[in-house]
A and B are shown apart, each in its own frame.
Chain A
Amino acid sequence: MPVFDLAATPLRALNQALHGVAPGANDTEFEVLNPRGQHAVAVGIDGPVTVTVRGPVGYYCAGMNDGGTVTVQGSAGPGVAENMMSGTVVIEGDASQYAGATGRGGLLVIKGNAASRCGISMKGIDIVVHGSIGHMSAFMGQSGSLVVLGDAGEALGDSLYEAKLFVRGSVKSLGADCIEKPMRPEHRAHLAALLDRAGVADVRPEEFRRYGSARKLYSFNIDNADAY
């Protein structure tokens, strides 16, 4: 297994090695030591590689991930898994602002808490947060699911389009055009599958509430002018 010690090796060497894995290659498991909060660790993966990062990372870890499996044994700075296309990113500690922003696919699991704007403008990514999330999360979310086992901060789902939000704890406030919706059997099944994929075993879908768009702000309507 290739091991990159970022205390001794430049980050660029790691990312080039990750990008250079040929289709069908066998040696696809990477270990990263001493990230010490560096930015852009394991960014731009475009194949089925597995990366284990032992320590905290800075901005944009696993950004644009397409097919890789990245596990961070520590906390992550702003923008983790930003614009992920597919694959899995697991943060074992906390994540900073805008985790999973604009993500188009794949699964982001945060085992600690996430800060503000988690899943902002999400476009298909699934995000499961074991702890709580900060304010303005899922702002302008377009598709995908955000699952929160803890609490949500202010203005959850502000100006939401079609992303599905499930929160087990309290919600400080809902943003413009975000409403609570009934949990029907198909939603419980969808949530159960997500919890299963994220390795959450001790929590039942019935414990969550579902939130989504009231669909009143989708397109300009003069009757809603005050709400824009």
Chain B
Amino acid sequence: MCGIVGLFLKDPALEPQLGALLADMLVTMTDRGPDSAGLAIYRPPAPGLSKITVQSARPEADFPALEQRLAEASGGSARVAVKSSHAVITVASDCLAATRDALKGLAPDLRVMGAGESVEIYKEVGLPKDVVARFGIAGMSGTHGIGHTRMATESAVTTMGAHPFSTGADQCLVHNGSLSNHNNLRRSLARAGMAFETENDSEVAAAYLTTAMARGRDLGAALAGALTDLDGFFTFVVGTKSGFGVLRDPIACKPAIMAETERYVAFGSEYRALVGLPGIESARVWEPEPATVYFWDQRQAA
């Protein structure tokens, strides 16, 4: 089944509550998928700085000296903020690529969850309530975010197999459904230069959108292309640095409901996920149409 949530704020006054609202939405969707859970939170970027979220199976061994070792290896300064099995490494944006390269040598077992100026990604095996608690999601502020609780169908229950999938800077995707042409698509995307961490069909969808946007499409156009090129069942919720998009396949078996007020746009697999949002009683609530692209951008929403 899987459960998806997403929240895109239009009112900056809600930003301190983003993590708490999103965490509650995700926990409500626990019974749609108990295998793993994850969230991507977009936080206001600091000028000139970028972030890499990494995960370790042995955080007590990998993280304590990481800051110093990164500084020695890359020559720049890196700040490492540890959160349970994850750490957010903040570096100057022009050192991002060098830091990622340095990480491969220094700590080859670390897994990169995502990178960019704004996004932080936290995901682990386990129930949403445990995942949001261990990373302190409820205390996080931000502009928008997406979350996913997984019932595994296409690949193994692992941390890397959890959603969101991030394959480009500040881009991420959560998926409910299953794709039938992901193996072919993975091969063609790999030939185009994309690297894959898992056998998961949803990672292919994320890489598809990343590749489309790298070729100059905006999020809306990339999602429209997915309707032609992806085969199978899907409800996608995707995030970019300033954008938030939703897409369902033409059959639209996978449930989806959206709500919009002057303060936010929200997505849930079920209405239950939305009941705790402020002003939901008077929100415009609708079911997104099949094969129809919905997307919002902070620059347009502001």
B270 proximity list for chain A (CB < 8 A): 37, 58-59, 77
State whether the Cβ of B272 lies closer than 8 Å to any Cβ in chain A: yes
A135-B290 CB under 8 A given contacts A75-B285, A78-B255, A96-B257:
yes
Residue of B252, B275, B289 touching A37 (CB-CB under 8 A): B275
B290 proximity list for chain A (CB < 8 A): 116, 134-135
**Are A116 and B252 in contact (CB-based, < 8 A)?**
yes
Per-residue interface assignment for chain A, residues 99 to 125, with 1 indicating a CB less than 8 Å from any chain B CB and 0 otherwise: 000000000000000011000000000
State whether the Cβ of A213 lies closer than 8 Å to any Cβ in chain B: no
Residue of B255, B274, B285, B286 touching A97 (CB-CB under 8 A): B255
B271 proximity list for chain A (CB < 8 A): 37, 56, 58, 75, 77
State whether the Cβ of A66 lies closer than 8 Å to any Cβ in chain B: no
Determine the residue in chain A with the shortest Cβ distance to B288. Answer: A115
State whether the Cβ of A36 lies closer than 8 Å to any Cβ in chain B: yes
State whether the Cβ of A38 lies closer than 8 Å to any Cβ in chain B: yes
Complex Cα distance A135/B253, Å?
11
Residue of B273, B275, B287 touching A115 (CB-CB under 8 A): B287
- Which interface residue of B252, B255, B272, B285 has the most chain A CB atoms within 10 A? B272
State whether the Cβ of A94 lies closer than 8 Å to any Cβ in chain B: yes
Closest CB-CB distance, B274 to chain A, in whole Å? Answer: 8
Would you mind naming 10 contact pairs between A and B with Cβ atoms under 8 Å apart?
A37-B273, A38-B272, A56-B285, A58-B271, A59-B270, A94-B285, A94-B286, A97-B253, A97-B255, A134-B289
**Are A96 and B287 in contact (CB-based, < 8 A)?**
yes
Complex Cα distance A96/B290, Å?
13
B273 proximity list for chain A (CB < 8 A): 37
B287 proximity list for chain A (CB < 8 A): 94, 96, 115
B285 proximity list for chain A (CB < 8 A): 56, 75, 94
- Chain A positions near chain B (C-beta within 8 angstroms): 36-38, 56, 58-59, 75, 77-78, 94, 96-97, 115-116, 134-135
Complex Cα distance A37/B274, Å?
9
Closest CB-CB distance, A153 to chain B, in whole Å? Answer: 9
A94 proximity list for chain B (CB < 8 A): 285-287
Determine the residue in chain A with the shortest Cβ distance to B252. Answer: A116
B272 proximity list for chain A (CB < 8 A): 36-38, 58
A38 proximity list for chain B (CB < 8 A): 272
A56 proximity list for chain B (CB < 8 A): 271, 285
Complex Cα distance A36/B273, Å?
9
Closest CB-CB distance, B176 to chain A, in whole Å? Answer: 14
Determine the residue in chain A with the shortest Cβ distance to B254. Answer: A97
A96 proximity list for chain B (CB < 8 A): 255, 257, 287
Complex Cα distance A75/B272, Å?
12
Complex Cα distance A223/B136, Å?
65
Complex Cα distance A195/B272, Å?
32
Complex Cα distance A116/B247, Å?
16
A97 proximity list for chain B (CB < 8 A): 252-253, 255
B289 proximity list for chain A (CB < 8 A): 134
Complex Cα distance A12/B197, Å?
44
Complex Cα distance A38/B275, Å?
10
Which of B102-122 touch A at CB < 8 Å?
A: none
Complex Cα distance A78/B254, Å?
10
Which of B258-296 touch A at CB < 8 Å?
A: 270-275, 285-287, 289-290
Q: Which 3 A-B pairs have the closest CB atoms?
A: A37-B271, A37-B272, A36-B275
B252 proximity list for chain A (CB < 8 A): 97, 116, 134-135
Closest CB-CB distance, B194 to chain A, in whole Å? Answer: 33
- Which interface residue of B271, B285, B289 has the most chain A CB atoms within 10 A? B271
Per-residue interface assignment for chain B, residues 213 to 235, with 1 indicating a CB less than 8 Å from any chain A CB and 0 otherwise: 00000000000000000000000
Closest CB-CB distance, B68 to chain A, in whole Å? Answer: 50
Determine the residue in chain B with the shortest Cβ distance to A78. Answer: B255
Complex Cα distance A127/B183, Å?
43
Complex Cα distance A59/B255, Å?
10
Closest CB-CB distance, A224 to chain B, in whole Å? Answer: 24
Per-residue interface assignment for chain B, residues 26 to 56, with 1 indicating a CB less than 8 Å from any chain A CB and 0 otherwise: 0000000000000000000000000000000
Known: A36-B272, A58-B270, A134-B252. 11 other contacts (CB 8 A): A37-B271, A59-B270, A77-B270, A77-B271, A78-B255, A94-B287, A96-B255, A97-B253, A97-B255, A115-B287, A135-B252
Determine the residue in chain B with the shortest Cβ distance to A114. Answer: B287
Complex Cα distance A154/B270, Å?
24
Determine the residue in chain A with the shortest Cβ distance to B271. Answer: A37
Closest CB-CB distance, B87 to chain A, in whole Å? Answer: 37
B257 proximity list for chain A (CB < 8 A): 96
Complex Cα distance A97/B286, Å?
12
Complex Cα distance A115/B290, Å?
10
